[in-house]
Chain A
Amino acid sequence: MKQIIALICIAVAYPLFGQNNNCNYSIKGVVIDSVHKTRLGLTEIEVFGTKNRTESNDSGGFVLKNICKGRIELHISHILCEHIHLNLDLYQDTFIFIYIKHEEHNLKGIAVEGKAKSNQLNTLGIENIRKFSGQSISGLMQEITGISMLKTGFNVGKPIINGLHSNRVILINNGIRQEGQNWGMEHAPEIDAFLITEIENIKGPAALRYASDGIGGVVTLKAVDFFSAYKSRALYGEINTIAYSNGRGRNISGIIGSKHIGKLPLYWRLQGTYKGSGNAKTGSDYISNTGSREFNYSVGLGHKTKSNQIEFFFSRFYNKIGIYQGSQSGNLSDLEKAMQAQRPLIQSSYTYLIDRPYQSVRHNLMKLSDKYIINSVNSIELTFAIQDNHRMEYDVLRSASSYQGPVFDYYIRTYFSELLWKRFRFHGAELQAGLSANRQANAYTGRYFIPGYYQNTWSAFTGIQKESGKLKLESSIRYEQKLLETYLWKGNTMSTNNRDFKGLVYSLMLTYNINKQTRLSFLHGSSWRPPAPNELYSNGLHQGLASIEIGDSNLMPERSYHQGIEGHFKIGKIELDAEVYTKYIKNFINLIPSGTPVLTIRGAYPAFVYSASDALISGLNVNVNYRFTKNYFIELKAQLLNGQNLDQHNYLSQMPPYRFKMNLGTQRKKVSFSMNCNYTLRQFRYIENTDYLPPPPAYFILGADLEWKPEINGRQIFISLNGSNILNHNYRDYLNRMRYYYGEPGVNIYLKLRIPFETLIN
Chain B
Amino acid sequence: MNIKKIKQFSILVIASMAVLTACKDTEVKPEDKPQNSTELITTMKLMLTDSSTGLTKTFVFRDTDGDGGSGPSTFDTIKLEAGKSYTCKVLLLDESKSEIDTISNEVEEESHDHLFIYTVDNINVRFEITDKDKNNLPLGLISKWRVGAPGKGKVKVTLKHQPGVKDGSASPGETDAEVDFNCTIL
Contacts and interface: CB of A to CB of B under 8 A. Distances in A.
Interface residues of A, number: 77
A602 B71 contact: no
B29 interface: yes
Interface in A311-353: 312, 314, 316, 325-326, 328-331, 333-334, 337, 345-346
A268 B10 contact: yes
Interface in B79-102: none
Interface in B17-69: 17, 20-21, 24-26, 28-44, 61, 63, 65-69
A399 B161 CA distance: 11
A443 B109 contact: no
Interface in A535-570: 539-541, 548-550
Given A263-B3, A266-B10, A445 B36 contact: yes
Interface stretch (A89-97, A112-120, A593-601): A593-601
B29 A452 contact: yes
B34 A446 contact: yes
A262 B3 contact: yes
Contacts of B178: 331, 333, 601-603
A331 B174 CA distance: 8
A388 B29 contact: no
Contacts of A599: 63, 71-72, 75
Given A388-B21, A602-B176, A452 B32 contact: yes
Interface string B139-166: 0000000000000000000000101010
A309 to B, nearest CB: 16
B175 interface: yes
A44 to B, nearest CB: 36
Nearest to A398: B106
B180 A328 contact: no
A452 B103 contact: no
Contacts, number: 178
A86 interface: no
Given A334-B174, A364-B20, A601 B30 contact: no
Nearest to B172: A345
A407 B17 CA distance: 29
A331 B21 contact: no
A442 interface: yes
B178 to A, nearest CB: 4
Given A299-B13, A602-B178, A605-B67, A395 B38 contact: yes
A617 interface: no
A742 B31 CA distance: 40
B75 to A, nearest CB: 8
A598 B71 contact: yes
B106 A366 contact: no
B106 A401 contact: yes
Q: Place the interface of chain B in its size category.
A: 35 or more
A443 B24 CA distance: 13
Contacts of A442: 30
Contact of B17 (A299, A400, A402): A299
A599 B110 CA distance: 27
Contacts of A416: none
Contacts of A409: 26, 28
Interface stretch (A131-139, A158-166, A487-495): A487-495
Contacts of A598: 67-68, 71
Could you say which of B7, B21, B31, B69 has the most chain A C-beta atoms within 10 Å of its C-beta? B31
A314 to B, nearest CB: 5
B6 A333 contact: no
A16 interface: no
A761 B33 contact: no
Interface in A578-635: 598-603, 605
B26 A411 contact: yes
B155 to A, nearest CB: 14
B68 A601 contact: no
A405 interface: yes
A446 B110 CA distance: 23
B137 interface: no
Given A388-B24, A407-B38, A411-B28, A330 B174 contact: yes
A207 interface: no
A399 B34 CA distance: 23
B126 to A, nearest CB: 22
A237 B66 CA distance: 53
B64 to A, nearest CB: 9
Given A301-B14, A489-B34, A600-B67, A364 B176 contact: no
B179 interface: yes
B1 A260 contact: yes
Nearest to A445: B35
Contacts of B40: 447
Most B CB within 10 A of own CB, among A364, A390, A405, A409: A409
A390 B29 CA distance: 13
Contacts of A605: 67
A441 interface: yes
B123 interface: no
A258 B17 CA distance: 20
A398 B14 contact: no
Nearest to A538: B68
A549 B178 CA distance: 20
Given A401-B106, A402-B106, A452-B34, A602 B68 contact: no
Interface in A201-252: 235
B78 interface: no
A387 B71 CA distance: 38
Nearest to B43: A601
B66 to A, nearest CB: 7
10 contacts: A260-B1, A301-B10, A328-B174, A388-B21, A399-B110, A402-B39, A441-B30, A443-B28, A447-B38, A487-B30
3 tightest A-B CB contacts, nearest first:
A452-B30, A541-B67, A330-B174
